[in-house]
Amino acid sequence: MNEDSKKPRAFPGMLPQTKPTDRPLSAATERVYDMWTPKQDPGNPFYTNFRYSRVGGIGKDESELSVSRRDPSKVLKIGDTYYVWYTRRITEHVPVGRFHIDAANDEIPVVDWDLADICYATSKDGFDWVEQGVAVPRAPKGAYGDRSLSTPDILVWKGRYYLYYQCFTTMWRENDCVGVSMAHADSPDGPWTRMDVPIVPQGAPGEWDSCAIHDPFPLVYKGKVWLYYKGSPFEKVSGGLLRAQGVAIADQPEGPFIKSELNPVTNSGHETMYWNYEGGIATLLILDGPEKDTIQFAPDGLNFQPMAHVQLSPVAPGPFCPDAFADDGDGRGITWGLSHITPPGGGSRMGCHIIRFDCDLSRDCHRPEFKRSNLHFSEESFFQRVARLPEDWRERIVAEQADFDKPTIGT
């Protein structure tokens, strides 16, 4: 054996497209093949950048400071018209905040999605929208859902339309405890008939979704209605919260919805969008949890795996999802949708407005400009409110450094 053959062979410059079996691999290189893809970001169908646009009609309007529009549903195209449903709050008073519930009343909201109704808007191009008004109003005083309806999403099943939404009764609940109800109509323009009962109820005390069923997101899958949702427990206050999503499945839109025994099916994610992809379900998980800002895929709709990390994710996104109800096992993916912008810091005491995102998570449309990695954000991004170090933290940190920062060299 000559000296050269004893030297370890360096990893090749051309990344092998199949996992090399004739050489040792580091754990990270193993993951390139076992978890990710050697095609890298541009060749990963689950990788995308998001580009944002302001929208007309339901977007930012300084003259409407008392209006909040948020939590857009998935977008439907019906004939040549796009439709979206969302939470709208018009109140003279700004929300008092969750720690001041006593200061709220029938006109003074607690949080941004309190004292709200489900509204809808239409558009011919997905950029300029015309607000059509209230689709589903709150129930009359004293009835289930008389306080606020929020965070809707839409299902079409056998030619009929179904809106699922969070349904608050009497007063906004501490910890945002709420169940999901539903309204149905023959046409996307209504009139809507409210069911005025819980359709997906909260779990029993001690269960992961005992306090709230949030962000209902219905799809048709395997011949049934699959309704994904964010659950939260009462234990939230004592630090027991897992920001996770579950799914409840029904034979028809009215239910009964049976929760999967695998719930929660994600370990992360706050407001979340789902879409049919090939024979499975894909999702974007944002804001919370160890797998935030990942796009995940479950070939069976239940067992999700991270497929790509993304940056600057849309908040509370609702995708334009043409085959959300096709149930043909051939989901084609998505290219755009609507999301919302929260006030700086994400507070729940100021209004939101709706924006549009474009992306490439589609099997049909190839947009290399959306597959770039190595994104560099502007100085304003680093010094925005949630990212810059506040002055008063700086003083504390400098004081702490005196104790923590042992000399690298010297004593």
Contact set with ligand AAL (CB under 6 A): 71, 113, 150-151, 166, 176, 214-215, 230, 270-271
Q: What is the number of helices (H) and of strands (E) in the chain?
A: 4, 21
Cα Rg, the chain, nearest whole Å: 24
Smallest separation, CB 151 to ligand AAL (Å): 4
Smallest separation, CB 381 to ligand AAL (Å): 22
Residue closer to ligand AAL by CB (options 50, 113) is 113
Residue (of 39, 5, 28) closest to 371 by Cα position: 39
Residue closer to ligand AAL by CB (options 339, 362) is 339
Smallest separation, CB 217 to ligand AAL (Å): 11
Q: Positive or negative CA dihedral for 239, 240, 244, 245?
A: negative
CA distance 177 to 210: 8
Using CB positions, name the residue nearest to ligand AAL: 151
Residue closer to ligand AAL by CB (options 147, 332) is 147
Residue closer to ligand AAL by CB (options 146, 153) is 153
Taking residue 395's Cβ as centre, other Cβ atoms within 10 Å add up to 10
Taking residue 201's Cβ as centre, other Cβ atoms within 10 Å add up to 17
Residue closer to ligand AAL by CB (options 332, 340) is 340
CA distance 84 to 64: 20
Residue closer to ligand AAL by CB (options 70, 194) is 70
Looking at residue 400, its amino acid is E
Q: Positive or negative CA dihedral for 321, 322, 327, 328?
A: negative
Smallest separation, CB 71 to ligand AAL (Å): 5
CA distance 308 to 282: 11
Smallest separation, CB 166 to ligand AAL (Å): 6
Residue closer to ligand AAL by CB (options 44, 342) is 342
Ramachandran quadrant class, 18 (left: phi over 0; alpha: psi -120 to 50; beta: rest): beta
Tokens 């011949």 appear where? 223
Let me know if 42 is exposed, middle or buried by CB neighbors in 10 A (0-12, 13-18, 19+). exposed
Residue closer to ligand AAL by CB (options 74, 371) is 74
CA distance 295 to 282: 7
Smallest separation, CB 264 to ligand AAL (Å): 14
Q: Is cis: bond before 264, omega within 30 of 0? A: yes
Looking at residue 108, its amino acid is I
Smallest separation, CB 68 to ligand AAL (Å): 11
Smallest separation, CB 113 to ligand AAL (Å): 4
First and final C-alpha spacing in the chain: 51
Residue closer to ligand AAL by CB (options 215, 360) is 215
8 A C-beta contact, residue 188 and residue 206 = no
